[in-house]
Structure 1
C-alpha cells in the first residue's frame, strides 16, 4: 500500500483531456472574413461560410468569439488596429501619419464594407460593443488624444480645447466617406483634414509658422 502511494505521488501528472487549442485559427478566421467580404456584402456573411473558408468548424469559432459579429470584430481589430497615431513632437506630421495609415487600410481592405452592418449588429450585444469600443475605437483615439495633449503643453494648440470635439473632427471625414461612399478616400484626405482642424484649434503662433 505504501509503495503504491509513493508510486502515485512520484508519477507524472496526467495530461489534461481534450483537443489542444489551434493557435492558427485566429489568423485563418481573419483571412477568411477579409476574403469573403471582397466578394460578398456583410449581410451575406455567415458563421458557416467563415468556418469553411478558414478550414475549421462553427463550434471552434463559437468557442472563441461566440457569434459572427464577434469574429468580425476580431478581424476588424486585427486589420485596422495596429497603426495608431505616432507621437514624435510634430503635431501636424503625427496626425497626418495616423489618419493616412487608417485611410490606406480603409481604401484597400474590404473590411471597411462591414462597418455599417457590424455597428448595427453590435447594438444587440452590449458586451461585444464595449469590447469593440475599448479595443479598437478608444485605443486608436487615445493615441491621437495624447498627440493633441502634448501639443497643448508645447503651446501649439489652444489651451482649454474641447478635446473630444477635436478628435471627432479629425476622424469624421474618413468615417463619413467609409459609411456613405459619396466621396473617395483619396491620398490627400488626411492632409486636408488635419490642416482644416489645426486652422481652428492651433495657436496663432503655430499657424504663422505653418502656413500651407
Structure 2
C-alpha cells in the first residue's frame, strides 16, 4: 500500500487549524480505542470534517494515526538544552518511559504490529518519526562522547540501541514493566558501564 506524503499538496491550501483538529480528534478516539477499532469515518465525525478533507492530506487511517502520535509525543519527550549530555539523555529516557507506559506506548505497539502485515506503515513510521528521533539522540550522544565524560571510542550507533532497545522490548513483549524504577535503574546502569561520572 502506498502512503501519501502528508505535506500540503499543490492547489487548495492546507488549513493548519483543520489539520490540528483532525489530529486531536484521532488522539481523542485513541485514548480508549485501538487503531483497529476506529475508522476514517469516526475521525471525520469527531473532527467535524468530511472524509474527503482527511483523504486530501492523508492516504490512510494509519498515516493519520502516526502523525497524531508524533504531534503529541515530541513535545513531551524533549532533550533539554543547557544540561550535561548525560543529564539530558537521562531526562529524555525518563520522559520516554513515562509516555510509553501509558496509551502512547500502546499506540506505538499497535503501529509496529500493523506494520508487520503492511510494511508501508513501518516505512512511514520510520521516515516520519524514528529517523528524526534517532538523529537527535545521535547528536546528544556525540556531545556526550566529545565532552570526555565517556570514552571517545564509544560506538554511538550501538549505544543508541543499548539505551533504547530495552524500552521497545518491554513495550512489545510485556515481560517487565515500563516504570520509573526501570527508567532510573537502566539509565544508571548504562552510565556505570560507560564510566560516566555522577
Q: Normalising to structure 2: TM-score of the pair? A: 0.80
C-alpha displacement at 1:182, in angstroms?
3.4
Equivalent in the alignment of 2:101: 107
Matched, 1:187 2:187: no
Equivalent in the alignment of 2:55: 62
Per-residue Cα deviation, 1:101-142 (whole angstroms, up to 9, x for no partner): 22222234x23222233224346353x644432332122222
Aligned match for 1:28, one of 2, 6, 21: 21
C-alpha displacement at 1:150, in angstroms?
1.5
Aligned match for 2:192, one of 188, 192, 199: 199
SS of residue matched to 2:172:
helix
Further displaced range: 145-154 or 83-92: 83-92
- What is the rounded CA distance, in whole Å, between the counterparts of 2:97 and 2:112 in structure 1? 19
Matched, 1:90 2:54: no
Change (3 A) 1:42 1:27: same
SS of residue matched to 2:183:
helix
SS of residue matched to 2:36:
helix
- What is the rounded CA distance, in whole Å, between the counterparts of 2:46 and 2:134 in structure 1? 32
Change (3 A) 1:138 1:19: closer
Q: Which runs of 5+ in 2 are unaligned?
A: 1-10
Higher CA-based Rg: 1
Q: Which runs of 5+ in 1 are unaligned?
A: 1-17
